[in-house]
Structure 1
Amino acid sequence: MNQKQTHKGPDNGLGSVFWRSVEQFHDRPALVVHDEVYSYKELGDKAIQLAQLIQTAEIGEQQEVVAVFASRSLTSYTGVLGTLTSGRGYVPLNPKFPLERTLYMLQASGASTIIVGIEALGLLAKLLPLVNRRLNVILPMEDNEMGNIIAARNQKHRFFCTMDLVERNEWWRPYPSNLEKTAYLLFTSGSTGNPKGVPVSHRNVTSYLQHVITSYSFNELDRFSQMFDMTFDLSVHDMFICWGSGACLYPVPEQAVMSPAKFIKDHELTVWFSVPSVPMFMQKLRLLKPNAFPSLRYSFFCGEALPQGIAEAWQEAANNSVVENLYGPTEATIAISQYRWDADRSPGECKRGLVPIGQVFPTQEWRIISEDFRELSVGEVGELCVSGTQITRGYLNDDAKTKHSYIIFPDHPRKIWYRTGDLVMCNESNNLYYLGRIDNQLQIMGYRVEIQEIEHVLLGTGAAFAVVVPLLQQHGKAEGVCAFLPKELEANHLEILNHCQAKLPDYMIPRKLIFVEDVPLNSNGKIDRKQLMEQLEVLR
């Protein structure tokens, strides 16, 4: 049978991005994981086999999403592709997350089928007895003994093994996707209570992919990094921008995530994507030497504010690379604005030591509003609101939070706008500047204080990192701030305070400096401010 006929997939939805490349690049490498190379044809065959097994497991009870409980393994990638190919969306579960959080995400998703990687079997054994409904559990064939033990102890659930995969039916085709249906369901951290579920539709994500793929000259010879856990939406960019370009995906091993210089060089990666914390730690280890990564053609950063110094250091290390700063919340689908670094122009365009977040994609809309929802002008600071095809439909089973964050303006009664909670301003060139979070804005002695302004001053002391958190009184009000700085600067304690006194008003000067070897990161690689505040309470 003709190869293209064998692998023909749906012509819409997130999965179609992969299937078009299967048709065009079927013998080229699509994935290199644990040093094993899988072609588009091989990955496509595995996805279809798994999709057939999902449909067998869910006869008469099809749900909108399937859970994928795996990380940086073949199972995690075939799980995503197989789920999409079966006509369902996927909800990623992270084996590194606490049991209680994983249970909540699984229960809230409504998924009746869970695909499990060998790396998650230990937590699965603890998870299944707590689940309040029957699940279809698809286990890996790599560890049948462990799978048999888990199955024997959890007889209310139905178990399937990837050994049950049959040779694919040549007449079977990937299911087409309704563009309004969920492509993936992610849970974002809330400031209090349980995580918020964000269903992202096929229309949302294909709008993003179409803009990015047409904006850059990716091709089948590119080698993409895959740094992000699948519970972080930037992983969708990693996978589907890569596969939509016919390129090859290189998941970064867990042990190399925070120091991936050798991995970049060994595999001659051409496209890089990470949060800024990664190059921050690489710089601390003196790994960002000029021309260190000549193979890179594109370097993307997102998820945190990008410091000017990090952008400059990375551009020197990846001297052949275009450096892009992306911005966007999960609710606006991966990213919604972009700024291209220019060694000559950009230093003069930075504010508070941060790279601009640039301009909102031309396919989307934006406005900056005041606290009373008045639209602000150039140079005024307010909350960024965004609208367009990338804006998701709200939070899963949470009308109150949806109503607060997804709003309608009187002059656009048919458009939904998402309130990002980010403080920004724009200049006359429509370049946007991220100035901090509304919820990171403190009131100290009646003054409004932006945490990032203090961090910028501290970074001016030569610190590789500076993280500021509030010093809270018993009633929850901030009495000042505390700063976490690199251990090697401890001897410069007085000089740092003098530097702050010269730059900041008294109420913004840190009351306490804590010197640490490293700052904790959350599962997405971002600085974990909540954990630092907990450490601060212990120290007090």
Structure 2
Amino acid sequence: MRTIDLLHVHLIEQVKVKAQKISIDLDDQSLSYAETYYYVQKIALALLKARNDLAIDNVIIYQLMERSIEIPLSMFAVFTIGGTYLALSPDDPDGRLSALIQETTLQTTTKEVQSSALVLVHGATRDRISFLSLANISLFPVDVAKELAYKDVNLVEVISDDLDHLSITNLNKDTSSFIICTSGSTGKFKAVEHTHGSEMHHVRALVEGGIFITSDNILQLASIKWALHHFEVINAITTGASLILLRPGGQLDINYLCKTMTDKQVSTLIASATMRRLLTDYITINEEKVTSMKYLRIFAMGGARVLGRQLVALASLLEKNSYKARILNHYGLAECCGLTAYNVDRNMLLSNNKTILDNNVALGQALPGRQLVLIDDKGQVITNENVTGVIYVNDSGVFKGYRGQPDITAKAKVTLLNVGPGLFMRTGDLAYYNDVGDLVYVGRDDFRVKIFGQLVAPEEIEQTVIRASKHVEACIVRIESDCYDDRNRDYSEYWSCHILAPTISSAYHAHFIRHLETYCRQNLSSSMLPAAWKIYDEFPYLSVGKIDRCGFPKLERTGTVILSVDKSIEFE
């Protein structure tokens, strides 16, 4: 067994050589690598004690916290004791949090068996636990801030005596490390389960590809519920870089974000399309904030298709101020991040070359240790340029499986006889090779779409709307777009919801939509909430009898309907 394949062991290796280097930095708080490991051990011992005292056998340890310095410490503490880390977002409604805990816990037990689980919290989130509605599951909060603040006169002796408990010998690269819950086409989320080995494979691919280096100051920008959050934290700490954190809500305060980038000399930033637009627009208007990009080495994007002209504003800012940051298009999924990278040529973007500006920016070629192939609809390997196929990834270094869903895992991991031995993961992403051998993203081969950088299955939203009321006979959810910048063809995306509810009188449509909106806000994450609604007495159908998904009109954003629901009407 290679112990170096364990994530927390990589932290220990960094402590040995960089004990006094800053590992985590948040505003006026900072921890060295030695201090980070000390606090990781304190939290790990608290978790072991709680798990033993309460006889909890659930390997999943949940975390419900606002952005704080305790988040990366807790993550590595869970890794240290061999637990499986699952981050819950405080921004999600209680109904969504309850469903995530309920489903992931019961995937390892049965509904009839009483189960229990630990939840890492701090002061701002501790009370949320009592509002969650769970069947046959008891939650036990562990207040991380309280554990870190606890002092004992014999603390050194206590920890020295207990450290043997952290020397868990049955861990290896196949041990589960964390779970990311993504949208599923069955109407329920999928629990993507990673191992220590799969994540270390990802780290090595990025390091060997020159994307992350040990001198980086990596900004943790992504939401805690996104896959990218895990990768930002783990990549920084296991490679000896410095992780720059934001205060709660800091990712939405662009002035604060720019100040943090300047003060902390951020060198690596991974941004969604929305964040790229917000940042470039703000700096364009407030030119003095351009210094926030002064120290950038890499401005990476990922999660969505992007046209060349949509990057012109960013390229202009960097070029005008002589900043040498590389604009990087990075491709990956929750199941397997760190697949490809492409260095976008800033000079080409600024050359007004229509071919460059009006086409999708390439994904690039496979990073070290990754094997990608394109397969056409006949199951044949594509080697020619401009022929579209589905991207498959060699199983080495990808996720372990969808927890509790072996049938879906079996469909995702398949054998490709025309390629070679071993399993390959079917991504569902469509792409083609351009004339220099780079992959170019086209879209999806199913109805799942990427919005706010996240892959979302409309079926999950549709099933939630249907559950909201017995009056909803059918529901179709579509992706719409607003023209954000006509010249550069930039746009913002949102969901429209088309509802078949013939029993609802037109006089009560607004009240009914308000009821559905309220239910969705209680059970869906913010990236899944529809922004436009319409109720139908009849759906458009194709001649074969199926619903014509392309026959629905585009709906403009309607915003929230400001109405109180008429209590005399039975909507549920």
| TM superposition score category, shorter chain reference | 0.7 to 0.9
**SS of match in other structure, 1:465:** strand
Question: What is the match of residue 390 of structure 1?
Answer: 397
Question: What is the match of residue 532 of structure 1?
Answer: 531
Q: Deviations over 1:118-138 (max 9, x none)?
A: 2322321212x6352234421
Q: Deviations over 1:493-523 (max 9, x none)?
A: xxxxxxxxxxxxxxxxxxxxxxxxxxx9x99
Q: Deviations over 1:285-339 (max 9, x none)?
A: 344856651111122222222342343333443422122111111112x231111
User: Is the Cα–Cα contact under 8 Å of residues 93 and 525 in structure 2 kept in the other structure?
Assistant: no
Question: What is the match of residue 566 of structure 2?
Answer: none
Question: What is the match of residue 491 of structure 2?
Answer: 465
How far apart are the structure 2 equivalents of 1:325 and 1:235? 18
Mapped pair 1:20 → 2:19: no
**SS of match in other structure, 2:177:** strand
Question: What is the match of residue 31 of structure 1?
Answer: 24
Question: What is the match of residue 313 of structure 2?
Answer: 313
Superposed counterparts of 1:69-80, under 5 Å = 69-80=64-75
* Aligned with residue 77 of structure 2, among 82, 85, 100: 82
* Aligned with residue 95 of structure 1, among 74, 87, 90: 90
Relative to structure 1, is the Cα distance of residues 131 and 321 closer, same or farther in structure 2, using a 3 angstrom cutoff? farther
**Which structure would you say has the larger RCO, counting Cα contacts within 8 Å and 6 or more residues apart?**
2
Question: What is the match of residue 234 of structure 2?
Answer: 240
Query: Which residue identity is paired with 2:294?
Result: P
Question: What is the match of residue 483 of structure 1?
Answer: none
How far apart are the structure 2 equivalents of 1:201 and 1:263? 32
**SS of match in other structure, 1:122:** helix
Mapped pair 1:229 → 2:223: yes
- TM-score, length of structure 2 as denominator length: 0.71
Question: What is the match of residue 40 of structure 1?
Answer: 33
**SS of match in other structure, 1:330:** coil
**SS of match in other structure, 1:37:** strand
Q: Deviations over 1:392-450 (max 9, x none)?
A: 232111133223322222335742222222121112422111112223599xxxxxxxx
How far apart are the structure 1 equivalents of 2:18 and 2:92? 36
Relative to structure 1, is the Cα distance of residues 315 and 463 closer, same or farther in structure 2, using a 3 angstrom cutoff? closer
**SS of match in other structure, 1:112:** strand
Mapped pair 1:261 → 2:290: no
**SS of match in other structure, 2:85:** strand
Relative to structure 1, is the Cα distance of residues 417 and 532 closer, same or farther in structure 2, using a 3 angstrom cutoff? farther
User: Is the Cα–Cα contact under 8 Å of residues 21 and 244 in structure 1 kept in the other structure?
Assistant: yes
How far apart are the structure 2 equivalents of 1:272 and 1:229? 14
Mapped pair 1:119 → 2:124: yes
Question: What is the match of residue 297 of structure 1?
Answer: 297
* Aligned with residue 424 of structure 1, among 424, 431, 443: 431
Query: Which residue identity is paired with 1:295?
Result: Y
Relative to structure 1, is the Cα distance of residues 344 and 141 closer, same or farther in structure 2, using a 3 angstrom cutoff? closer
Tell me the percent identity. 17
Superposed counterparts of 1:376-455, under 5 Å = 376=382, 377-411=384-418, 414-440=421-447
User: Which moved further from structure 2: 36-45 or 346-355?
Assistant: 346-355
How far apart are the structure 2 equivalents of 1:220 and 1:362? 18
* Aligned with residue 346 of structure 2, among 343, 348, 369: 343
Tell me the C-alpha RMSD between the 2 structures. Answer: 3.6
User: Is the Cα–Cα contact under 8 Å of residues 10 and 175 in structure 1 kept in the other structure?
Assistant: no
How far apart are the structure 2 equivalents of 1:284 and 1:40? 36
Question: What is the match of residue 3 of structure 1?
Answer: none
How far apart are the structure 2 equivalents of 1:436 and 1:415? 26
- TM-score, length of structure 1 as denominator length: 0.75
User: Which moved further from structure 2: 59-68 or 162-171?
Assistant: 162-171
User: Is the Cα–Cα contact under 8 Å of residues 270 and 295 in structure 1 kept in the other structure?
Assistant: yes
Question: What is the match of residue 6 of structure 1?
Answer: none
User: Is the Cα–Cα contact under 8 Å of residues 310 and 488 in structure 2 kept in the other structure?
Assistant: no
Query: Which residue identity is paired with 1:91?
Result: L
Mapped pair 1:331 → 2:335: yes
User: Is the Cα–Cα contact under 8 Å of residues 117 and 139 in structure 2 kept in the other structure?
Assistant: yes
User: Which moved further from structure 2: 282-291 or 372-381?
Assistant: 282-291
* Aligned with residue 203 of structure 1, among 191, 197, 201: 197
**SS of match in other structure, 1:433:** strand
User: Is the Cα–Cα contact under 8 Å of residues 116 and 138 in structure 1 kept in the other structure?
Assistant: yes
User: Is the Cα–Cα contact under 8 Å of residues 222 and 248 in structure 1 kept in the other structure?
Assistant: yes
Question: What is the match of residue 169 of structure 1?
Answer: 160
Question: Which residues of structure 2 form unaligned runs of 5+?
Answer: 106-115, 450-477, 502-520, 535-554, 560-572
User: Which moved further from structure 2: 422-431 or 258-267?
Assistant: 258-267
How far apart are the structure 2 equivalents of 1:182 and 1:441? 27
How far apart are the structure 2 equivalents of 1:524 and 1:538? 18
Displacement after TM superposition at 1:42 (Å): 1.3
User: Is the Cα–Cα contact under 8 Å of residues 306 and 360 in structure 2 kept in the other structure?
Assistant: yes
